[in-house]
Structures are given as structure tokens and as C-alpha cells.
Amino acid sequence: MMYIESQEKRGAISRRAVLKGGALAATAVAFGRLGWASANEQRSIPQVRLGNGVMMPMLGFGTYGLRGDVCTESVADAITAGYRLIDTAKVYQNEEAVGAGIKKSGIDRKSLFVTSKIWVEDSGYEPAKRAFQTTLDKLQLEYLDLYLIHRPRGDVQGSWRAMEELNVAGRIRAIGLSNFDESQLASLTAGAKTKPVINQVESHPFFQETVEHASLLTAGVQMEVWAPFAEGRNGLFTNAVLKQIGTKHGKTVAQTVLRWHHQRRVVAIPRSSNPEHRRENLAIFDFSLDAEDMGRIAALDTNRSLFPEWT
């Protein structure tokens, strides 16, 4: 839900500044040693089979904080670059711009996996149905691939019943949750006809949510992560361990972190308004982190949220 580049507003070190000022960036070209593959060099993005059998890309494009023409152009370019999973939400106030970007890309709708989310003010059976239709209208789509309850607030049971019906009617291919903890997920599931297939949560090297991840795996619920780069907080892009591992593989810190997410079997949705960064984020399927790398990153976990306002 919260992605890279808004960190400049919070005083964090930006990825753009790191790349611009670093010695590596000064001597490497975008499509060379930094590992930014061109479109025709990109490998297809692996997919994961959700609990209801629907296939979902394991790497997508987040749109939190993108508005207007910047959002439209970013979405259209992301799709051109190879992204197929596009994530938005009512509260992002950009669904119309996202829809315009999808339309501008010219790609077959069936090739995309589009996610949106219901906000707290629309919780409840009837409000959820109205909110869903508004989202579809703004996106200019006939169906959603995934619809999530954005926060565990309000009448979540009523919202879930509405989403179950929309799922059965074929208007949503899969339904899930966001920011639910283990007990909240269990409470909703206890009275549900349809089990959630996704829980979208905060996770990054400094807050790895290993217990939550294991619990979701056991429950057959796919973990999806927002803020995969922690929005640059805690100096993620200058972290010595992540830089060392990246250098070892000829990759950037961003690519190293996304590869770490991928090897944990979680779906990540990084956001960037920078076309080079969008392509850089896709170039993670031509290398692997070894056990030592994974162990060093595991040791970075503080087990403390960097976004307590969302807990």
C-alpha cells in the first residue's frame, strides 16, 4: 500500500539519490552493470496459484501516491515494460488514472491482473456493493481480478458477504484482505463461505513478519507485501549488508530486496514513477540468493513495524 519515493517527504534516503550519487551509478549504464534489462530481455514474471485456483503474478506494480497524468503514464509504461499485476485502491484516489493507463497501454484486459480495495467508510453489505461498482466504473473495467478489504475496521463481515456474492457472480475473480492480523483473519474466516486467498501486509527486510508468513502458508493464504522497500526508511538503500549482497550478484539493493521477497514466496508490488526503476525492478529473475545471503537478510529483522499507523 505504501511504496517507494514518497520517502523523500518523510526525510528518508531516496533510491534515486543513492543511484545518482553512488560510484556504481557513476560508472555504469542503465542497461549494463546495474542490471536494468531492456523490455525484450525481460523474463516472464512467475505466477502463483491462489487458493481458489486463480493464477497471480508474483511481482506487480503498486500505484499508491501516484495521481493524474503521472499515474496514467506510469501505469501505461509499467504494462509496456512487462508488468501484468496492477494494484490500486479507492483511498489512493487514482482509480480513474489507473484505468486510463490500462486503456492507454492497449493490452488485452485478460492479460492483466487488476487489484483494488474497499475502504473503511464503505464497509458493510450494501455500501461495499456500491463501492465496488464505483471502482469498476472509475477503472473502466467489467470485472476485477482481486478485491480486498483494505483495513480490519467497520462491518467487515457485511463487506465480505457482498464480496462473496460478487465473486460467485464472476465480477471478482478472487477476494482477500489487507492489514489483517492472524486473529482478525481467523475471526472473518470462521463465518465466511469463501476463504480469503490473499492477505496484503507490510513486510520488508526490517519487518519480515516471519510468524505471519508461516501462519498464512499454513492457512493456504498467499502473502502479498506492500512497502517492499520500507519506503527507504531505516536507510534501506544504503544498508551495508544489502549493498554487499547486491554487489556480489551484480545487482542493486532494490533488486536484491525484491529477489529476497520472491524467494520467500511472497508477492511484491513496488511502486515507482521512474521508468528506469520500473524496469530495474523487473530484472530479478536471472539470479538467486544463496543460503548465506538469505541468512544475512534475515538478521536485519527488527520485528517492529515502520508504519505503526497501519497496525
Encode pLDDT of 90-99 as tens digits.
999 999 999 9
Q: Is 303 helix (H, G, I), strand (E, B) or coil?
A: coil
CA distance 29 to 25: 7
Which residue of the set 3, 83, 92, 147 is catalytic?
92
What percent of the chain stands above pLDDT 70? 86
The three grid cell numbers given for residue 186, joined into one nine-digit string: 481467523
Beta bridge partners of 57: 47
H or E, element range at 139:
helix 125-139
Amino acid at 309: E
Average predicted confidence (pLDDT) for the chain: 89
Is 3 in contact with 65 (CB distance < 8 Å)?
yes
DSSP 154: S
Note whether 16 and 5 are within 8 A (CB).
yes
> Pick from 154, 208, 67: which is nearest to 162 by CA?
154
pLDDT band of 311, cuts 50, 70, 90? confident
> How far, in Å, are 91, 198, 231 from residue 67 at the CA level?
12, 26, 18
pLDDT tens-digit series, residues 253-302: 999 999 999 999 999 999 999 999 999 999 999 999 999 999 999 999 99
Helix (H) or strand (E) holding 145: strand 144-149
Banded pLDDT at 60 (limits 50, 70, 90): very high
Reply yes or no on whether 83 is catalytic.
no
Using CB atoms within 10 A of its CB, is residue 293 exposed (0-12), middle (13-18) or buried (19+)? buried
Q: What percent of the chain has pLDDT over 90?
A: 85
The predicted structure's pLDDT at residue 24 = 37
Helices 240-249 and 291-298 pack at an angle, to 10 degrees, of: 160
- Report the distance separating Cα 136 and Cα 144, nearest Å: 7
Per-residue burial over 94-121, b if 16 or more Cβ lie within 10 Å, else e, is bbbbbbbbbbebeeeeeebbbbbbbbbe
Phi, psi dihedrals of residue 245, rounded to the nearest 5°: -65, -40
d(CA 36, CA 10): 27
Q: Is the pLDDT of residue 28 over 60?
A: no
Residue type, 73: E
Q: What is the DSSP letter of 59?
A: B
